[in-house]
Amino acid sequence: MPHFSATLDGVKPSPTVALTGLVAALKAQGREIISLGAGEPDFPTPQHICEAGKNAIDSGRTRYTAVDGIAELKEAVAAKFARDNDLAYGPEQIIVGTGGKQVLFNALMATLNPGDEVIIPAPYWVSYPDMVRLAGGTPSIVETRVEDGFRISPPQLDAAITSRTKWLIFNAPSNPTGAGYSPDQLKALTDVLERHPNVWILSDDIYEHIAFPGYTFSTPAQVAPALFDRTLTVNGVSKAYAMTGWRIGYAGGPVDLISAMRTIQSQSTTNPSSVSQWAAVEALNGPQDFLASAVTTFLRRRDLVVAGLNAADGVSCPVPDGAFYVYPSIAGCTGKTTAGGTVIETDEDFCSALLEETGVATVFGAAFGVSPNFRISYAASDELLTKAMDRIQDFCAKLA
Ligand code: PMP
Ligand code: GLU
């Protein structure tokens, strides 16, 4: 065995990614599993986007590209930021990476030194704290309250900022809660940030397009132009266009930061897949009607799942503004024993027993930093969701 790097101290594998592997293994054993674990759209990538990928292969666009992405894709990204977010990024202010995940990782690697703090509102996407640790920084977790709709309040943000704070990671609509911020709510936060000129803002807008009626998406650099020069606006095609496997994410930000991120990428993965980049050009420049139809589908499923969970004994589920997750509390289930004889002490016990006894795969709340809760990704067919709700209600009804 080698001696492993101290960089890995306190870092664990992604629980959401691990669950995908576990579900595959259980299915291979012949078990019938309803997978509501991994967060990815269940639709196929739209045909015109696939065609663009195939054309890239057939026309020999299969070589290394510029590290930060082909010019055509950077132009498409710039046009997207202008069209959707009123943000004017030039080509030097844009980088394309292997998923939003790599873009986030590059940004943290490029900026964090030991002792640097990164404010992460909880519940958070599982990867943020561990990415910060891998990059040598210290996560500073701020727990939001269900009473506040899982939104960080301006006083909470203000109180969390120290002289060591380097970044705020902001993610709305949120994974795992689906919480969004109205432009006014966001402005109240950016007002705080304007008073702290040393804090940078990393806005993860990956769920931008999955926004339900009554909620209007906005992004920090848009509502607070004064923050433009210290904001990295991250986005990608994975969730919006059902392209998780293509691995294309991108960001707009200050030239120096983008250049530092490019250096890291040039020494790690070089460029994102050339074929995927051409598909992403079509995703961003081509017809956008897929987005509205996906929202309609997700809205119907959201309502099905929220109602189904609130009908389960001991479960309480707020209504999300966007994304395709719900994050119900199971406070009414802890301390009880399942039909199979498991005592539920934690949300991990709940999710393990639910998987074992009913075949419904979900992610336990501790992975996202707020308990006792669990996350359901409702990117699954109405039929499967209905079946899953029946099983969860039955599981909860039998708790004693
Ligand atoms: N941010 C959030 C909040 C996510 O849920 C995901 C999904 N894995 C990502 C970023 C990264 O997605 P991708 O790497 O597929 O672009
Ligand atoms: N973002 C998705 C999730 O949270 C995909 C898996 C991952 O990268 O975490 O489930």
CA-CA distance, 128 to 167, in Å (whole number)?
Answer: 12
Nearest to 196 by CA among 238, 154, 237, 232: 154
The ligand minimizing its distance to the Cα of 124 is: 1
pLDDT tier for residue 62 given thresholds of 50, 70 and 90: very high
> Do the beta carbons of residue 370 and residue 126 sit within 8 Å?
no
The ligand minimizing its distance to the Cα of 206 is: 1
User: Is the Cβ atom of 39 under 6 angstroms away from ligand 2?
Assistant: yes
Q: What topology does CATH give the domain 62-285?
A: Aspartate Aminotransferase; domain 2 (3.40.640)
pLDDT surpassing 90 at residue 36: yes
> Do the beta carbons of residue 146 and residue 388 sit within 8 Å?
no
Q: At what angle do helices 127-134 and 99-111 cross, to 10 degrees?
A: 40
Cα–Cα–Cα angle for 311, 314, 315, rounded to 5 degrees: 60
Percent of the chain's residues with pLDDT above 70: 100
Average pLDDT over every residue of 298-303: 98
Rounded distance from Cα 101 to ligand 1 centre (Å): 6
User: Is the Cβ atom of 171 under 6 angstroms away from ligand 1?
Assistant: yes
User: Is the Cβ atom of 245 under 6 angstroms away from ligand 2?
Assistant: no
Cis peptide before 173 (omega within 30 of 0): yes
CA-CA distance, 77 to 316, in Å (whole number)?
Answer: 39
pLDDT surpassing 90 at residue 96: yes
Rounded distance from Cα 176 to ligand 2 centre (Å): 10
Structure tokens at 211: 């926004």
**What's the pLDDT tens digit per position in 318-362?**
999 999 999 999 999 999 999 999 999 999 999 999 999 999 999
pLDDT of residue 1: 78
Q: Whose CA is nearest to atom 2 of ligand 2?
A: 39
Q: What residue spans of 32-182 are helical by DSSP H?
A: 47-58, 71-85, 99-111, 127-134, 154-160
Rounded distance from Cα 127 to ligand 1 centre (Å): 9
pLDDT of residue 18: 87
CA-CA distance, 149 to 395, in Å (whole number)?
Answer: 27
pLDDT surpassing 90 at residue 79: yes
pLDDT surpassing 90 at residue 256: yes
CA-CA distance, 234 to 212, in Å (whole number)?
Answer: 21
Rounded distance from Cα 196 to ligand 2 centre (Å): 31
Instruction: Print burial letters for 35-64: b (CB count within 10 Å at least 16), e (below 16).
Output: bbbbbbbeeebbeebeebbeebeeeeeeee
pLDDT of residue 3: 87
pLDDT tier for residue 2 given thresholds of 50, 70 and 90: confident
User: Is the Cβ atom of 204 under 6 angstroms away from ligand 1?
Assistant: yes
Rounded distance from Cα 341 to ligand 2 centre (Å): 31
Residue 267, C-beta contacts closer than 8 angstroms, at least 6 positions apart = none
pLDDT of residue 9: 87
Rounded distance from Cα 312 to ligand 2 centre (Å): 26
User: Is the Cβ atom of 173 under 6 angstroms away from ligand 2?
Assistant: no
> Do the beta carbons of residue 325 and residue 376 sit within 8 Å?
yes
User: Is the Cβ atom of 99 under 6 angstroms away from ligand 1?
Assistant: yes
**What's the pLDDT tens digit per position in 157-212?**
999 999 999 999 999 999 999 999 999 999 999 999 999 999 999 999 999 999 99
pLDDT of residue 336: 98
**What's the pLDDT tens digit per position in 220-248?**
999 999 999 999 999 999 999 999 999 99
User: Is the Cβ atom of 18 under 6 angstroms away from ligand 2?
Assistant: no
> Which amino acid is it at 62?
T
Percent of the chain's residues with pLDDT above 90: 95
Q: What's the mean per-residue pLDDT of the chain?
A: 97
pLDDT of residue 249: 98
User: Is the Cβ atom of 17 under 6 angstroms away from ligand 2?
Assistant: yes
CA-CA distance, 98 to 68, in Å (whole number)?
Answer: 10
Q: What topology does CATH give the domain 6-44+290-397?
A: Aspartate Aminotransferase, domain 1 (3.90.1150)
Residue 118 backbone dihedrals phi, psi, to 5 degrees: -125, 120
User: Is the Cβ atom of 101 under 6 angstroms away from ligand 1?
Assistant: yes
Domain parsing of the chain, residue ranges: 6-44+290-397, 62-285
pLDDT tier for residue 281 given thresholds of 50, 70 and 90: very high
Rounded distance from Cα 121 to ligand 2 centre (Å): 17
pLDDT of residue 304: 98
